[in-house]
Structure 1
Amino acid sequence: MPKNGKLSGNGFRRNVHQSFGLSPEDFRTLRALKTPVQIQKFLDALPYQYANTAWSPQRALRERKGHCLEGALLAAAALRVNGRPALLMDLEAVHDDDHVLAVYYEGSLWGSIAKSNFAGLRFRAPVYRTLRELALSYFEHYYNLRGERTLRSYSRPVNLARLDSRGWMTSDEDVWCVPELLIAARHYPLFPHKVARTLPRLDRRSFEAGMHGWTKH
């Protein structure tokens, strides 16, 4: 992986007039989200759902709700219709759920967009020089209900253009091909295993601050 986290050969083409098979209404909705900040605000307004689903962006727009994976897919689709690559990155955890980010870059710096009911696991401005720096920015906010710090590794970004033939943007069926691709992607540990064994639990004040917006399911 390049030191600066840059991708090569990602198939990016600046064609903002292509609808990618989306309905006209859904294309207009995503096309109106022209910046990462606007995309994040749109995701924040959607109710968080607890379900074992993998809805395409078009299905999530129809249902007007979604979870972590579906929010990242929506963000990636919005980035794509506005001329950016549709890139996802997986954050891998222990004793906890994984988290999926839509990642983007401005110049040589990385940022991310995400759907979460934990306050600190959402948007990141493009100030990170590498993908490792970006992933580490989630470390202190990534914990389970026992207060254990659970983030361990991050994947290289995957370009969802690879799954166009599987209809990841428009399918009415669950697009399990996306999490399968993320799981198969190469992951990089954030720190040695011996460090993970000695991590202290989160203090009560930080725990409560990060739980803002969390709802029990």
Structure 2
Amino acid sequence: MKPRSPILFAQKMGLTLRQAKLLVSLKTPRKIQDYLVFFPQNFEPEGDTARSVKSALSAHSAQCIEGAMIAAMALWLQGHPPLLIDLCAHQDMDHVIAPFKQNGKWGAISKTNYTCLRWRDPVYRSIRELVMSYFHEFARGPRKSLRSYSAPYDLRKFPSKLWVDNPKNCWELTSHISSIKHYEIIDESLAKKLRPRDAVEIKTDQLNVFPIPRWKKRRL
């Protein structure tokens, strides 16, 4: 259900008036995604972060889970449940998306600096179908790495002070999402039989929205 006064609701959750107005102005899931595409990438120069909605907006940068939390908050202000799905990878970085439902079909908002793991139009009949749309492109080098996914987690169940306006990193939330039920996609015996990505596919990894700093490339 959409809050009666979305701006006041967002402020009550801990956002500034300016931040509240910004998120309320993103009136559709597509507009949320359009905003996040060119929202500066958080390359985490001082180490891993999981900044709250307020902190990421204040810093004017975000990585995947930070972008997903911003998206979930904006969706909540539109009347959608604020959901997150954890896409769990093997020997690769996990990815978090903000799913939403329109006309009975699932789509997803995603913050990423790469050509893969991006927005999904609401055309998928189930969460599994939505998640499987990421399988082929979720990879590290030649190896496809997606192994499992979480059930959608409703952030209304989690204290807002721990993800909306938390001044510290939201490690409690990241730990919780990692610990909830995940559904296996493939096991390692099947993973060994997957066809590796070819050179053309691997080359797409070099396409980025924001240039990756040299120091960051050395860490990847």
Q: What TM-score do the two structures reach when normalised by structure 1? A: 0.89
Residue ranges of structure 1 left out of the alignment (5+ in a row): 1-12
- TM-superposed CA distance for 1:91, in Å, is 0.2
Other-structure match for 2:154: 159
Question: Of the candidates 14, 27, 30, which is equivalent to residue 2 of structure 2?
Answer: 14
Letter in 1 for 2:194: L
Q: Indicate whether 1:24 and 2:17 are aligned.
A: yes
Q: Indicate whether 1:212 and 2:210 are aligned.
A: no
Distance 1:50 1:69, change over 3 A: same
- TM-superposed CA distance for 1:192, in Å, is 4.3
Other-structure match for 2:115: 119
Q: Give CA-to-partner distance per residue, 1:63-92, whole Å, 9 cap, x none.
A: 100111101111111111121111000000
Q: Give CA-to-partner distance per residue, 1:119-163, whole Å, 9 cap, x none.
A: 12110000011111111111111111x321001111101011112
Question: Of the candidates 92, 97, 101, which is equivalent to residue 101 of structure 1?
Answer: 97
Q: Following superposition of structure 1 onto structure 2, how do residues 131-142 of structure 1 map, counting pairs within 5 Å?
A: 131-142=127-138
Distance 1:16 1:191, change over 3 A: farther
Q: Indicate whether 1:149 and 2:137 are aligned.
A: no
Other-structure match for 2:30: 37
Task: Give the Cα separation in 1 of the matches to 2:159 and 2:188.
Answer: 37
Task: Give the Cα separation in 1 of the matches to 2:121 and 2:205.
Answer: 18
Asked if the contact 2:162/2:173 (under 8 Å) is kept, the reply is no
Task: Give the Cα separation in 2 of the matches to 1:72 and 1:16.
Answer: 24
Of residues 83-92 and 45-54 in structure 1, the stretch that sits farther from structure 2 once superposed is: 45-54
Secondary structure of 1:89's match?
strand
- TM-superposed CA distance for 1:165, in Å, is 4.8
Structure (1/2) with the larger helix percentage: 2
How much is the aligned-residue C-alpha RMSD, in angstroms?
A: 1.5
Question: Of the candidates 80, 85, 102, which is equivalent to residue 84 of structure 1?
Answer: 80
Of residues 165-174 and 67-76 in structure 1, the stretch that sits farther from structure 2 once superposed is: 165-174
Task: Give the Cα separation in 2 of the matches to 1:26 and 1:72.
Answer: 16
Q: What TM-score do the two structures reach when normalised by structure 2? A: 0.87
Secondary structure of 2:159's match?
helix
Task: Give the Cα separation in 1 of the matches to 2:119 and 2:112.
Answer: 10
Other-structure match for 1:46: 39
- TM-superposed CA distance for 1:108, in Å, is 1.8
Give the length in aligned residue pairs: 204
Other-structure match for 1:168: 163
